[in-house]
Structure 1
Amino acid sequence: MAEWTFLTNHAHVLVCLFDDESLRVRDIADRVGITERAVVRILGELVEGGYLEKFRDGRRNTYRILREQPLRHPLESAHTVGDLLDSVAD
């Protein structure tokens, strides 16, 4: 398998949450192939960047993707997170 992919780990985390916003950090880490610590960092960055909303549900966190947010790079800024997810997620 190739050592690089077209999407970043940030995008992979969003794809996982698109499938199930209640996934645990452990489940996301397993699916993406990164550490739980990396997932926690990415989730924090996505919340801080305005791409996710975080909700506390008992002892667990759940997340809501803010689909209307534009992609960050100038080449893709005319498109939203929702556009990306609609094109790559199941």
Structure 2
Amino acid sequence: MPAYYDDKTKTWYSKFYYQDYTGARKQKKKRGFKLQRDAKEWERSFLEKQQGSPNMTFQALSDIYMEDAEHRMRKTSITGNRNLLNSII
């Protein structure tokens, strides 16, 4: 998991390839991390979310669920679910 340093902006960025659900190979790049470990952490969490494997953490699974649920639930339901998930974690 490489992270690269950008001399112009004095920040770190993460750039890598992954396979999406259709099997196509895609490149992902995100810039603006203050620390190298932040860039590597973001890459690891992104790949976990893309994988959807049984090895993913409960935190990653709950984040995916909340992102999906925010568009179809009321604010009070979202708040209640978020509080419930945070108490479990």
TM-score with structure 2 setting the length: 0.25
Greater strand content? 2
Greater length-normalized contact order (CA 8 Å, ≥ 6 residues apart): 1
Between structure 1 and structure 2, the one with the greater Rg is 2
